[in-house]
Structure 1
Amino acid sequence: MSMNLELTGKRVLVTAGTKGIGGAVAALFRQHGANVLAVARVKPEQLSPDAFVAADLTTIAGCDAVVRAVGERLGGVDSIVHVLGGSVATAGGFAALDDATWHKELSLNLFPAVRLDRALLPGMIAQGAGVIIHITSIQARLPLPESTTAYAAAKAALSTYSKSLSKEVAPKGIRVVRVAPGWVETEAAVSFVKRIAAQADTDYDGGKQIIMDSLGGIPLGRPATPLEVAQLIAFLASPRAVMITGTEYVIDGGTIPVV
Structure 2
Amino acid sequence: MTIPGKFPVDNQEFAGKRVLVTGGTKGAGEAIVRRLTAAGAMVVTTARSATEPSSPKLFVQADISTLAGAEKVAASTMDRLGGVDIIVHSVGGSKSPGGGFAGLTDQAWQDELSLNLLAAVRLDRLLVPHMVEQGAGVIVHISSIQRRLPLHESTIAYAAAKAALATYSKALSKELGPKGIRVNTVAPGWIHTTASEAMVKRLAAHSGSDEETARQGIMDALGGIPIGRPAWPQEVAELVAFLVSDRASAIHGAEYVIDGGTIPTV
Change (3 A) 1:190 1:102: closer
Alignment of 1:108-187 (within 5 A): 108-187=115-194
Change (3 A) 1:10 1:178: same
How big is the shift at 1:88?
2.5
SS in 2 for 1:110: helix
Change (3 A) 1:144 1:195: closer
What is the identity, as a one-letter code, of the residue corresponding to 2:8?
A: S
CA distance in 2, matches of 1:196, 1:108: 21
**What's the counterpart of residue 228 of structure 2?**
221
How big is the shift at 1:98?
2.3
**What's the counterpart of residue 3 of structure 2?**
none
How big is the shift at 1:7?
1.2
What is the identity, as a one-letter code, of the residue corresponding to 1:180?
A: A
Number of residue equivalences: 256
**What's the counterpart of residue 236 of structure 1?**
243
CA distance in 1, matches of 2:147, 2:202: 25
SS in 1 for 2:190: coil
**What's the counterpart of residue 63 of structure 2?**
56
**What's the counterpart of residue 65 of structure 1?**
72
Alignment counterpart, residue 52 of structure 2, candidates 44, 47, 51: 44
Moved more, 12-21 or 83-92: 83-92
**What's the counterpart of residue 29 of structure 1?**
36
Alignment counterpart, residue 88 of structure 2, candidates 81, 89, 99: 81
How big is the shift at 1:210?
4.0
RMSD: 2.0
SS in 2 for 1:38: strand
Change (3 A) 1:168 1:90: same
CA distance in 1, matches of 2:167, 2:184: 11
Alignment counterpart, residue 257 of structure 1, candidates 234, 251, 264: 264
Would you say the 8 A contact 2:25–2:53 is kept in 1?
no
What is the identity, as a one-letter code, of the residue corresponding to 1:28?
A: R
Change (3 A) 1:257 1:34: same
How big is the shift at 1:207?
6.0
TM-score, normalising length from structure 2? 0.90
SS in 2 for 1:223: coil
How big is the shift at 1:71?
1.2
Gaps of 5+ in 1: none
SS in 2 for 1:143: coil
Indicate the percent of aligned positions where both proteins have the same amino acid.
59
SS in 1 for 2:184: strand
Verify: 1:103 aligned to 2:110, yes or no: yes
SS in 1 for 2:220: helix
TM-score, normalising length from structure 1? 0.92
CA distance in 2, matches of 1:3, 1:91: 41
Verify: 1:90 aligned to 2:97, yes or no: yes
1:21-66 CA deviation, whole Å, 9 max, x = no partner?
1000001101101000011011335145x61000000111111111
How big is the shift at 1:188?
2.0
